[in-house]
Structure 1
Amino acid sequence: MNKHLKTNPPGLALIHEFESCRLEAYLCPAGIWTIGWGCTFYEDGTRVKKGDRISKKQAEDLFKTILPRFEEQVRKAVTAPLTLNQFSALVSFTFNCGEANLKKSTLLKKVNANPADRSIAAEFAKWKNGGGRELPGLVRRRKAESDLYFS
């Protein structure tokens, strides 16, 4: 039902805005080594580690390779028909929070029950913590995802 959907330009812009591109591995607030556009692993599945460095082109290529994995995770998890904006917002969420968190979330349950349910906005907002504390960047990101979802 959603198998034809791909992240749209507003969804890509949202991910890029909140991830930013860093060419040297860094620890994200959750304590996970990250590189490029928020990637925690490489094309072959190897985890990013301290000291890793990549070029801008490698960062772009890595993102283009990794993003479809998250799109596929959303396609598999969501059983209700989605708009392109809804799909893109959920891909951004999954890219940031991970497939396991999407699958266990009330957000997903509500999307599958009724994608137009306005209480879904509050479910996005719940995912605002990183490293055990509320992060202003995650509060803004969840709001942006919710806004995209309902636009």
Structure 2
Amino acid sequence: MRTSAEGVALMHHFESCRLVAYPDPGSKDGHPWTIGWGHTGREVKKGLVWTQAQADAAFVQDLAATEAGVQRLLKVPLTQGQFDALVSFAYNVGLDENQNGKAEGLGESTLLRKLNAKDYAGAAEQFLRWNKNDGAVMHGLTKRRTAEQGPVPGLHSPGGHRRG
């Protein structure tokens, strides 16, 4: 399964594109530094500048990696809207596939555990628990989690649809 055009639009809306690297506005230490459509990595540091083509190419790569990670973690089939919401969430918080027992992203989250148990409503309720950065509630994250949560396109039911 691949993220739909609507899912990409949702992610682009909340990530926006910045061609000059910037510190994470909600973290106490400014890490991680970010550029483009929410790209982070060791190469992203203060002073880094990209072209729009570089930002778009990195987004395509990052999205493909996130989609693959979500598919590895899933044990249940999802509708397109549910998949889009989960990829958007994982793109933002990370996949957390290191199995260290600490929920630092999708992989060890209660959201994923409930989803894989087919508790769609319980999974949907978990989105809003991920609206903080360094312990502080972030208005932008609350808006993003609400959009991902649904009831559509989120995970309330196996038959969820996208907003029109």
Q: Normalising by the residue count of structure 2, what TM-score does the alignment of the two structures yield?
A: 0.82
Runs of 4+ in 1 over 6 A off after TM superposition: none
Larger proportion of helix: 1
Equivalent residue for 1:102, pick from 101, 106, 128 = 106
Structure 1: gaps (5+ residues): none
Letter in 2 for 1:67: L
CA shift, 1:14, in A, is 0.9
Which residue of structure 1 lines up, in the alignment, with residue 46 of structure 2? 50
Structure 2: gaps (5+ residues): 97-104, 155-159
Letter in 2 for 1:88: D
CA shift, 1:37, in A, is 0.3
Equivalent residue for 1:146, pick from 146, 149, 161 = 149
CA shift, 1:85, in A, is 1.1
The C-alpha deviation readout for 1:104-128, integer Å capped at 9, x for no partner, is 101001110115x222221011000
Which residue of structure 2 lines up, in the alignment, with residue 61 of structure 1? 57
Number of equivalenced pairs: 142
CA shift, 1:131, in A, is 2.7
Letter in 1 for 2:127: F
2-structure distance, mates of 1:118, 1:108: 12
2-structure distance, mates of 1:61, 1:79: 29
Letter in 2 for 1:51: G
CA shift, 1:26, in A, is 0.4
- Within the alignment, does 1:33 sit opposite 2:33 as a pair? yes
